[in-house]
Structure 1
Amino acid sequence: RKILIPLDGSPFAEFALGPGLALARALPAQVELVSVQDPVPTFAFGEWDTDPQAWRRDYLDEAGQRVAGETGIEPETAIRVGRVE
């Protein structure tokens, strides 16, 4: 079993950590912290020339370390590319 907890950096998304981790402990289940990146157009210039997923990786790594330190649960992390609607 795996509990997916979607995170986008917002306080609202962070609120999902508590219930998701509680469910993972109760089942028990693995935890995966997931963030979704909108596809970057191939014609993008300027700020898109840098790695558009860098802040997501940093954010998920920090969130994963926080979860592990506070709960002992070692979550996996993943970035998916797709439309967010």
Structure 2
Amino acid sequence: MLMERDFVEYVAKSLVDEPDNVEVNVIEGEKSTILELRVAADDIGKVIGKNGRIAKAVRTLLNATASKTGKRVVLEILD
């Protein structure tokens, strides 16, 4: 799941004003992996996007890459 973590971190750092505050925590389970994304309070809107479009796009790409491993990947954006 290192590839997925790196992907989320790269995308988040590209979107936010404070890339040093981007933090991705990985929680491994048997059938799924949870990626917790934390960014600065001012940058949450930039990661989510209008009507959640950016978050949805990132989740779609994550699920596409994770389908190769047969595991489910969940992205949680924490505030």
Q: TM-score range by the shorter chain?
A: 0.3 to 0.5
Identify, as 1 or 2, the structure richer in helix. 2
Q: Report the TM-score, using the length of structure 1 for normalisation.
A: 0.42
Q: Report the TM-score, using the length of structure 2 for normalisation.
A: 0.44
